[in-house]
Structure 1
Amino acid sequence: MTTSKPDVRRWLAPGAMVVIRDEEWLVRATEDTTDGVAVHVQGLGELVRDTTATFYDTLDDVTPLDPAEARVVADASPRYRTARLWLESTLRKTAVPLADQSLSVATRGLADALGYQQVAVRKALDPQNLRPRILLADAVGLGKTLEIGMILSELVRRGRGDRILVVTPRHVLEQMQQELWTRFALPFVRLDTAGIQRVRQKLPATRNPFTYYRRAIISIDTLKSDRYVASLRKQRWDAVVIDESHNLSNAETLNNRLARLLARTTEALILASATPHNGKADSFAELIRMLDPVAVPPSGELDRDEIRRLVVRRHRHSPEVASAVGADWAERREPNNILIPATPEENAVASELEHTWLWPGTGGSPYSGARGTFFPWTLAKAFLSSPAALQETIDGRIERVAKDTKVPFDRAEAELRALRHLAILNERTMRTQAAKYTRLVAYLKEIGVGAGSATRAVIFAERLETLYWLHRSLPGDLGLPADAVELMHGGLTDPEQQELVERFKQEQSAVRVLVTGDVASEGVNLHAQCHELIHYDIPWSLIRIEQRNGRIDRYGQKHPPQITALLLDPASERFAGDVRVLAKLIEKEDEAHAALGDVASLMGRYDVKGEEEEIRAVLAGVKQLDDVLRPVTEVAAGNDVAAIFAQLFDTPGQVDEPAAAPEVVPEAGAGLYDDEVSYLEEALREAFIDPTATPARGGVGWRRDEAFGTVELTPPPDLVQRLEVLPQSYLADRKVTERLVLATTAARGKDRLAAALRDDKGTSWPDAHYLSPLHPVLDWAADRALAALGRNEVFAVCGEVESSTVLLLGTLTNKRGQVVSTAWLTAQFPIPDDPSFALVTPHDSIRDALQALGWTTPRANPGALATTDHLQPLIRPAVHEAAAYLEKTVFEAARRDAQQRVDAWRRKLDAWDGETAVLIRRSDAAASRERIAEERKLTESMAPARQLVRPLLVVVPDTEGELQ
C-alpha cells in the first residue's frame, strides 16, 4: 500500500498501528515538533515486543496501517479467548480523554477512598487548565503522598504519565518509592547513593541517565548539582513532582534554579508542602509562577481566585477532613509538659550563664564577637539541650577564639577565661546524673519502654552531641540491648537514613527508641508502631514543633498520639521565665493545630530561622511573648494585612470551596472481564500452553488461591525486566523475580501491606503485591495479547446481532498526541447484498456497545467461520461512515469545547503580555517574554488536530456460526 505523506500523517494517533524498519509498532503518543512528527511507539512484533522507541516521520519511513484496509480473520480460539484478550488489551491501552474528570484508577489502588483527597485530584485534572498544575498545601499528616500517587495514576491512564520525575528530600526517597509502588503499582527507580552507583556501572559516563529511566525518584540535593542540571536541560517530562517545595521560593538558590528548569520542561507539575509560603508575597508568587507564569500579573499582586485555582489546602480539623478520617486518625492527647527541677550543679551553670553571659549587668559581657547578643543565647540553648551539647559549644568556641587574630588580645583572654570557668561548672554536671535525662529514663519506663515490651518512642533533640549522648546512655539505663536504641542524623547517607526509618516501622524489629534530630522532622512517617513523641529540647520555632509532631500525629495513626516536652527548670528566676516561654510554644502549637492547622501564621515569620529570632528576642527581654504570638482568633478572623495568607486558604467559617465530592469507585470490569485477575489468567492461558506448568515445561507455575486471595507465577525474563527498577533489596528479600505473589483483592492487599510491618523479614515491602489496574504484569499481558493479530487484522466472531456488525473506536487527538475525545460505535449492515450501506449507532460506553453485541459475558465458539471473504467489504464503509458521523457530531462538539479552552487561555496570555510592557522590570523582560512564548506554543499544541477511527471487531449473527 502506498500513501502520500499528508494522508499518512492523519493516521498518526495513539492506538494506530505503524510499520517502521519492517517491524510493527503500536503508537502510544505523537507530537508535532519542528523536526516533524515525533511518534512514540511500543513494539508489537516478536523482536521488539518489550521495546519502546521514538521515531520522526522526517527521518524514518513511518507507514501507518490504514484502518479501512484492515483484513478480517476468524477467531478459532475457545470461547473467543484470543479476540476477547485483544479487545480488552486495546481498551486498556486507549487513554482516557483529557477532559474526563471521572477517577478511572485513582480509587482502585490501596489508598483509602477519602473524599477530600479526591477533590485535590479533580482540581489537578480540571480541564479548564490546559496542564495539570497544582500546589498540594494540605497541613502535616493529611496524606499528600497519597494525593500525589492518585494524580500520577490518573495521568498515566490518560497517556500523560509516561515520563515522570519525583524530587524529594533524600531521607524519604524509599518511603516515596514504596508508597507509589505498593499502593498504586507505579514502579520508579530510586536514584539514591546506591542507585546512582548502579547507574554508573550500567551506563557509559556520557549517557544521560534520564533518557534510560522513564520514571525516577531522586533527592533535590543530588539533582541540583551542575552535572545533573546539564542532563535535565535536554529532557522533557510528562510530570514532575517536587516534595517539600517551600524550599524553592528563594530565587537566588540552586533549589529555585532547578525548580524553574523543571517547570519549563514538564507538562504536569505537582508541588507539595505543608508550609507553602514564608510570609513574603514575592516568594509565594515565585511558586505560583512555576505552576502558571500568568497566574501572577507583572505587578506581582496576588489574585485570590488564581491562587485558589492552583492551590489546595486543608487541615486535620477542616470539616471535610474530620468527617472522612474517623478512627483512622486518632485525636492527639493534651500536650504533656514536664517541668524538671535542675540539680545544684545545673543551677550553678544556669547562674553563670545568667550573670556572666546573658544579663551581665554593668560589668559587661566577656563575649568578643561583633554580634554581641547571639552567642550567649547559643550557650543558653545548648545548656537547655544537654551538658554534652553545652560542652561541645564551649570547646568549639574556645578553639575559634584562640585562633582569631582579629580579636583584641584582652577581649579574647577575657572570653577564654569565662569559657573555661563555664566548662569547669559544666564538667561537674557531667559527673552527676542530669535532671532532665533522669526524668526521661523514668518517663520512658512509665509508658512501657523496656525489655519485653513493644512500646516505642521517638525522641527529638536539636544538638548532635545531645543525640550521641542519649544514644550511648539510654540502652543501659533502660535495660535494653544496644540495637534497641537507634540514632538518625543528617550526617548519615541517604540509604542509612532510609534503612533506619524502615526498621522503626517494623513490628518485629528490635528498635524501641529512635533518637533523631530535625532531619526526621519533614516527610518521614514514624507512626506505624509509635504514638509517643518526646521533645528532649524545645525548638524555638512553632513550625519546627509542628513538623516534629506530624511524624506520629497523622492519618493512619490508630492510637491517640502523646506529645511530651521535657523542660529543665533552673532555680534562676530569669531562666524559669525562659522555660515558661518554651512551654507556651508547645501549648500554642497544639491550640493552632486544632483551630487553624497552620501554626506559622501565629508569628507571621513563616520560616524556622525567623521564628527563632523572635523567640530569642522574647528570652532576651526585648519583646513580650504576646508581641510575637498573635491570638488564634485574630489569625482566623483575617482582619489585618498580615493575615493575607490566612485569607488565601480556607479557615474555619471561610470555606467557599464546594464540599468534597462523594466518594466514587469506578465500576470494576468495565470491559470484558469482571476483574484484573481474570484478565491476567486468560492472558496466561493464551500465551502458554499450560501456564500451571513449571518454566522448564513451558509454563509459569501459575497458582490461584481463591480462599487466600492470592495468585502466583514465576515471572518470565521479559516481565522481570519491567520490575528491575524496584529496590534490589526488595526483589531479593521477597524473591519477587523468582516467584511473584499478587493479592487479588484490595482487602487482601491491605492485609499483606500491614503484615509486612509485623513479620520477621525486616522490610515493610509486602510479600504479596496488590494487582491494581496499572500493575506492570497487566501491561505485560496486554502487550502479549496485542501481538496476537498480524499486521492490520481484525477478528470476526459470532454474537447476538441481527446482521453483520462492526465495532469501532474513534479518537480525537491534539497536536501533542493526547486524546481529547473517544467514541464507541457500531456499524450494522442490514442488507446482506449491499455492503455499502452501514447503519452507524453511537454508544455511551464500551460496556453499552458490548451489550448491543451480546458480548458482555464469555461466549461459546462454535468454530471458526468457514470464510470471511463476505465480511471484508464491510470494513471500509464502516470506517468511513463512522468517521463521517463522528466528524459531524461527537468530535465537532469535542473540538469546539477544547478550542474554547484553548482560546480562553490564549486571551489570558494576551492580557498578561499587554501588562508586561508597562509594569515588568527591564531585567526580567527577556526571560518573561521567552516563557510566554513557550506558553503560546503549548497553547497551540493543545488544539484538536487529528481523528482516527479503528475497527475492533466484526460480529456476525450466531446462526452464521452454527452453520459451520
Structure 2
Amino acid sequence: MVVVRDEEWLVRATEETPDGTLVHVQGLGELVRDTTASFYTQLDQVVVSDPAKARVVADASPRYRTARLWLESTLRKTAVPLGERSLSAATRGLADTLSYQQSAVRKALDPTNLRPRILLADAVGLGKTLEIGMILSELVRRGRGDRILVVTPRHVLEQMQHELWTRFALPFVRLDTAGIQRVRQKLPATRNPFTYYRRAIISIDTLKSDRYVASLRRQRWDAVVIDESHNLSNAATLNNRLARLLARNAEALILASATPHNGKAESFAELVRLLDPSAVPPSGVLDREEVRRLVVRRHRHSPEVANAVGADWAERQEPHNVLVPATPAENAVAHELEHTWLWPDNGASPYSGPRAAFFPWTLAKAFLSSPAALQETIDGRIDRVAKDRAVPADRAQIELRALRHLRQLNEQTMRQPSAKYTRLVAYLKEIGVGPGSPTRVVVFAERLETLRWLHRSLPKDLGLPANAVELMHGGLTDDEQQGVVERFKQEQAPVRVLVTGDVASEGVNLHAQCHQLIHYDIPWSLIRIEQRNGRIDRYGQKHPPRITALLLDPNSERFAGDVRVLAKLIDKENEAHTALGDVASLMGRYDVKGEENEIRSVLAGTKQLDDVIRPVAEVAAGNDLAALFAQLFDAPGQAATEPVAPQTATEPGDAGSGLYDDEVSYLEEALREAFVDPTAPPARGGVGWRRDEAFGTAELTPPPDLVQRLDVLPQSYLAERKVTERLVLATTTARGQERLAAALRDHSGTTWPDAHYLSPLHPVLDWAADRALAALGRNEVFAVRGTVDDPTVLLVGTLTNKRGQVVSTAWLTAQFPDPETPSFVLITPHDSVRAALQELGFTTPRANPGAVPATDHLQPLVAPAVHQAAAYLEKNVFEAASRDAQQRVETWRRKLDTWDEGANVLIRRSDVQASRARIDEERELAESMAPARQLVRPLLVVVPDTEGQSK
C-alpha cells in the first residue's frame, strides 16, 4: 500500500525506466476506487504505508468472509520468491504438464543464473509454445511478468495468442495488420504503442522496421520471447539488430527454435551471446557447459520425452514413396532437359546468364513440381533474356530458341492430365478424401504456380465444393494466413485439403484434424522435409502420421536416377528422426539453402550422395562441431535431465493460501462481498452470477472495469463468443479441456472456446482480488477469532533486491501470552502460510458470532509484532537468504571479471568492444540483484475463540 496525492493505492507493479521508477497502482480510496494509475517517484511523493502503524479493525462479516477474502487476495498478490524451486502456476493451466516440459521451465528459472535466459531448442513437435507459456506463467506469479513482448512469424500470431490465453489465461494484444490498424485509431500517432499495451504479440517482420526501433529503445520488458530464433544469428541482418535491442532491454529472454544451429560456430555463438554476453569468451570459442546452462534440447525419442508422451503422440508410419511413371509428353520434356540443359549433348548449355550451373536445375526442379511451375519458369526467363541488353545477341537467340522449344514441349503436357496429378487425385480418394468424408490432408509444394494449379483443379476432380480446398502461401496477408490455419483446425469447417508452400513448414500446428501429409514435390533439404513433417507429427497427434511423397519417374536414365536420389531424402529424414531427432547434423549445413546446394551437386554428378549425407551411426559417434550439437544435450540412452515428479496443487508456491477449495469458490465469495446480490442482473446492482457445479461452469456479466482487462483479446473472439456480454468460465480442468476441444468441432467458425478455463492467473481473479483488497481502509488489519490460546498476529516477511523483486518470503506468528505486556512476544516461524493458518484454525470457514469487541486493546500488539518479527527474520532467516543471494551475485561478478580479463587482450576488435558494453550492463544488473530491503507486514490478528465456536 502507498499513499500518493493523499489517496491510498495498491501497488500492482513497479518498473525501472530511463525516467526513474514507475509505480503502477490500483485505487483503494473512495474517490479513486477501481481507478488505475501510474506515478513516477521523481514527480510524485510516493509514501509506503508503515506496517507497524496498521490499525486493527474487527471483521463482522458472516463466517469472516471479508477477512478471508482480504487475506487470500493479499497472498495472491504477494510475488513468489525468485529462487522458489517448486512451480506455482506453470502446472495449473490447461496444458498437459509433461515432465520434460517442467524440466525446461525449471532450467529457465534456475536461481543460480542472474536472470531467466534460455534457448528452447527442442526438436519439432515437442511443444515449445507450451514451454513458453509455462515459463511466462511462472514469471507472472513471481512478479517478473508484468510487461511481456512475444515476437513470432506472422502466420502463427493468432496461434500463439490462442495458446497463451486458452491454456494459461495470459491475455495478449495481437499487433497484426488488424491490430495495428486498431492501435492507430485508438492512439495518437506520437504515442508509443508499447507503453499502452503491457503484453503484446507482434511479427518479427513488422517489428524490425525502423518505424519501431526508436520506440523499442525506450522500453524495458520483464520478458521477451522470440520464436523461430534461428533467423537471428546473422549479425548483419535487421532481425539480429532487433534481437540485440530487445535482449539489452529485457530481463527474461526466451528464444525458441528447432533448428538453432547453422553449422557455423560464430552464428550459434551469436544466439548464446544474446542470452548471456558473458557466456561466450572474447575469443568466441563456445564453452560446452555454458551452452548446456542456456540451451535445452530434446527430441521425440529422447528417453525423457518418449516416457512422457505415450499415446498422445502416435509413432509415425514408415515413409510412403510413390513413383509415378511419366506420360509420353512428360518424358519428352525430361529428355529435352537432360540432353539440352542438364547434360548437353554438345557440351554447351544454351543458358546465357552468370548462373550456368544452377539455372538448368531450376528448370528441372520446376518440371518435377508441375507443368504449371515449369511454364512460369520458362516464361519468366524468356522475358528476362529479351530485356537484358547485356547478353550478346547471338547468345540470347540460342537460349531463346531452346526455351521456346522447351515451352512447346511443356505445352503438350498441359493439354493432357499430368501423371503425378492424376496419381494425387487417385491417392486422395484412396485415403478417403471426398464428399461426406471427414478425412483431411495437407499437401506441400514449393512452387506458387503448382499450389494455384492444385487449388483450382482439385475441387472438381475430387467432387468437392471450392471451399473444401484451401490455399496458403507467403503472398497472403497475416490475417489471411491465420484464417486458413484456423479453418483447417476446425472439425466442422468444410476444408478437407490444404495446399500450401513452405510458409506453413515452421511453427504451424496442423495435427488437430489431420494425420496425412503429402509432399507433392520433395524439397532438396532434409531440414525442410523435417519441418514439413512436423506439422502433423507432433505431441497431441492421436493417429500414426503418414508421410507420402509423389515422385515423377521419367524414363530418361539420368533423370530417373535423380528421382531416386530425392526419394532417399525422405528415407534419410525418417532414419535421422528416429535415431537422432536432428536431421540437420546428417549434412552438417544446418540451413535449407546450404543443403539444397549440396543436393544440386549430387544431381549434377559432381558429388555422391554418401559424400554429402553421412550415416546416422557416424553422426552419433562424431566429435566435430556439426555432430556435437546432435549429441550435446541428449546423450544416447540417457535422459537430458532428471525426471520430474508430478506436482500437487498444495505445494509451496501455489497461488494464494489455500483458504478456498478452488478458484471458483474464491471468485464467488469475492462477488458476494463486492455486490449485495451478485446473482441479480447489472440493472439491479449485480453481475448475473450463475454457477453450475454439476456441469463445471460459472458465468457472469462483466462490469466495465473487467471488460477493460479483456479488451486486448481478439475483437472477433469477444464478439463471436459474446465475452463482454456474458463471460462463461469452465471451473474444472476436465470441463476446460472439453470446451477447448469442442471449439474445434462446433459450427461457430472459431477455435476459441465458448467457456474459458478459470486458472489461477485468470484476469477475472485478478479483478476480484483488487476489489477484495479495497475492503479495508488505509493501513488496516482485520481482527478475527481462532483456535489460539493467546492473542496472535500473523505476519509475512519479504526480502527484496534493489529492483523490488522478492528474494525470500517467510511466514510467522507473534504470540502474546500476556497482552498487558506487549513487549513479551513469542515468534514462531512456519514452513508455509497454510501451516500458519492451520495453527490459527483459519483454514476453513468459521462461524462469526460477531465482531471482536474493543479492538483498542489489540492495537498495541501490532508494532511489537512487526518489530520483533523483523528482528527474528533478520537474524535467523534473511541473513542466510541474503548471504545466499549475495553469493550468487558475487559468483556472477567474478564471471564478468574473467570475461573482462580475456577481453583486454583483444580490446581493439570492434566486436569485443561492443560485447564489453553489454558486459558493463550485466555488471550493473548484477548490482541491482543484490538484496536491499526487508519488509514485515501484519496480515491478521487472531484472538482466542472463547465462545467455542465450531466450523
Identify the TM-score tier after normalising by the shorter chain.
Answer: over 0.9
Deviations along 1:917-952, one digit per CA (max 9) or x if unpaired, are 113552224322221111111000000001111111
Partner of 2:790: 803
* Structure 1: distance between partners of 2:789 and 2:584: 70
Aligned partner letter, 2:375:
Q
1:365 and 2:349 correspond: yes
1:578 and 2:562 correspond: yes
* Structure 2: distance between partners of 1:961 and 1:86: 24
> What is the aligned counterpart of 1:785 among 745, 749, 772?
772
Partner of 1:117: 101
Residue 42 of structure 1: how far off its partner (Å): 3.2
Q: Which moved more, 1:335-344 or 1:920-929?
A: 920-929
> What is the aligned counterpart of 1:663 among 635, 640, 646?
646
* Structure 2: distance between partners of 1:131 and 1:50: 33
* Structure 2: distance between partners of 1:62 and 1:757: 50
Residue 365 of structure 1: how far off its partner (Å): 1.1
Aligned partner letter, 1:149:
G
Query: Would you say the 8 A contact 1:138–1:314 is kept in 2?
Result: yes
**What are the equivalent positions in structure 2 for 1:427-438 lying under 5 Å apart?**
427-438=411-422
* Structure 2: distance between partners of 1:129 and 1:156: 18
Residue 37 of structure 1: how far off its partner (Å): 4.8
Residue 44 of structure 1: how far off its partner (Å): 2.6
* Structure 1: distance between partners of 2:772 and 2:143: 20
1:907 and 2:907 correspond: no
Residue 663 of structure 1: how far off its partner (Å): 2.1
Please give the TM-score of this superposition, normalised by the length of structure 1: 0.97
Deviations along 1:813-869, one digit per CA (max 9) or x if unpaired, are 000000000111111111132122211111110001101110010000000123211
Partner of 1:382: 366
> What is the aligned counterpart of 1:318 among 274, 288, 302?
302
Partner of 1:724: 711
**What are the equivalent positions in structure 2 for 1:643-792 lying under 5 Å apart?**
643-653=627-637, 655=638, 657-667=640-650, 670-792=657-779
Aligned partner letter, 1:847:
R
Residue 33 of structure 1: how far off its partner (Å): 7.4
Partner of 2:781: 794
Secondary structure at 1:128 match in 2 = coil
Residue 71 of structure 1: how far off its partner (Å): 0.7
1:916 and 2:903 correspond: yes
Residue 642 of structure 1: how far off its partner (Å): 4.2
Residue 230 of structure 1: how far off its partner (Å): 1.0
Sort the Cα spacing of 1:941 and 1:676 in 2 relative to 1 into closer, same or farther, 3 A: same
Residue 53 of structure 1: how far off its partner (Å): 4.0
* Structure 1: distance between partners of 2:562 and 2:462: 30
Secondary structure at 2:251 match in 1 = strand
* Structure 1: distance between partners of 2:557 and 2:730: 63
Query: Would you say the 8 A contact 2:263–2:625 is kept in 1?
Result: no
Secondary structure at 1:871 match in 2 = helix
Sort the Cα spacing of 1:201 and 1:640 in 2 relative to 1 into closer, same or farther, 3 A: closer
Secondary structure at 1:362 match in 2 = coil
Sort the Cα spacing of 1:48 and 1:332 in 2 relative to 1 into closer, same or farther, 3 A: farther
* Structure 2: distance between partners of 1:896 and 1:34: 30
**What are the equivalent positions in structure 2 for 1:276-675 lying under 5 Å apart?**
276-640=260-624, 642-653=626-637, 655=638, 657-667=640-650, 670-675=657-662
Secondary structure at 2:278 match in 1 = coil
Q: Which moved more, 1:853-862 or 1:632-641?
A: 632-641
Residue 363 of structure 1: how far off its partner (Å): 4.6
* Structure 1: distance between partners of 2:5 and 2:675: 29
Query: Would you say the 8 A contact 1:108–1:665 is kept in 2?
Result: no
Sort the Cα spacing of 1:818 and 1:450 in 2 relative to 1 into closer, same or farther, 3 A: same
Partner of 1:827: 814
Secondary structure at 1:274 match in 2 = coil
Residue 276 of structure 1: how far off its partner (Å): 0.9
* Structure 2: distance between partners of 1:483 and 1:37: 54
Deviations along 1:545-571, one digit per CA (max 9) or x if unpaired, are 000000000000000000000000000
* Structure 1: distance between partners of 2:335 and 2:908: 55
Residue 657 of structure 1: how far off its partner (Å): 3.8
Please give the TM-score of this superposition, normalised by the length of structure 2: 0.98
Sort the Cα spacing of 1:51 and 1:255 in 2 relative to 1 into closer, same or farther, 3 A: farther
Residue 30 of structure 1: how far off its partner (Å): 4.5
* Structure 2: distance between partners of 1:373 and 1:425: 23
Query: Would you say the 8 A contact 1:279–1:645 is kept in 2?
Result: no
* Structure 1: distance between partners of 2:725 and 2:17: 43
Aligned partner letter, 2:740:
L
Sort the Cα spacing of 1:99 and 1:570 in 2 relative to 1 into closer, same or farther, 3 A: same
Aligned positions, number = 946
* Structure 2: distance between partners of 1:99 and 1:331: 38
Q: Which moved more, 1:372-381 or 1:661-670?
A: 661-670
* Structure 1: distance between partners of 2:21 and 2:400: 73
Aligned partner letter, 2:750:
T
> What is the aligned counterpart of 1:845 among 814, 819, 832?
832
Query: Would you say the 8 A contact 2:304–2:639 is kept in 1?
Result: no
Aligned partner letter, 2:825:
A
* Structure 1: distance between partners of 2:321 and 2:725: 52
1:210 and 2:210 correspond: no
Deviations along 1:324-380, one digit per CA (max 9) or x if unpaired, are 000000000000000000000000000000000000033511110122111100000
Partner of 2:935: 948
Secondary structure at 1:564 match in 2 = strand
Aligned partner letter, 2:359:
F
* Structure 2: distance between partners of 1:920 and 1:288: 20
Query: Would you say the 8 A contact 2:225–2:255 is kept in 1?
Result: yes
Aligned partner letter, 1:933:
D
* Structure 2: distance between partners of 1:33 and 1:348: 69
Secondary structure at 2:132 match in 1 = helix
Deviations along 1:873-930, one digit per CA (max 9) or x if unpaired, are 1111111000110010111110001000000000000000011011355222432222
Q: Point out where structure 1 has 5 or more consecutive residues left out of the alignment.
A: 1-16
* Structure 2: distance between partners of 1:57 and 1:460: 57
Partner of 1:8: none
Partner of 1:60: 44
* Structure 2: distance between partners of 1:328 and 1:148: 20
Residue 664 of structure 1: how far off its partner (Å): 1.5
Residue 652 of structure 1: how far off its partner (Å): 1.5
* Structure 1: distance between partners of 2:839 and 2:412: 89
Sort the Cα spacing of 1:415 and 1:34 in 2 relative to 1 into closer, same or farther, 3 A: closer
* Structure 2: distance between partners of 1:920 and 1:945: 34
Aligned partner letter, 1:659:
E
1:81 and 2:65 correspond: yes
1:143 and 2:130 correspond: no
Residue 318 of structure 1: how far off its partner (Å): 0.3
Aligned-residue CA RMSD in angstroms? 1.4
Residue 658 of structure 1: how far off its partner (Å): 3.4
* Structure 1: distance between partners of 2:183 and 2:18: 32
Secondary structure at 2:794 match in 1 = strand
Sort the Cα spacing of 1:793 and 1:636 in 2 relative to 1 into closer, same or farther, 3 A: same
Partner of 1:876: 863
Secondary structure at 1:367 match in 2 = coil
Sort the Cα spacing of 1:582 and 1:46 in 2 relative to 1 into closer, same or farther, 3 A: farther
Secondary structure at 1:870 match in 2 = helix
Sort the Cα spacing of 1:718 and 1:54 in 2 relative to 1 into closer, same or farther, 3 A: closer
Sort the Cα spacing of 1:136 and 1:90 in 2 relative to 1 into closer, same or farther, 3 A: same
* Structure 2: distance between partners of 1:324 and 1:670: 31
- Percent sequence identity is 84
Secondary structure at 1:156 match in 2 = helix
Q: Which moved more, 1:688-697 or 1:775-784?
A: 688-697
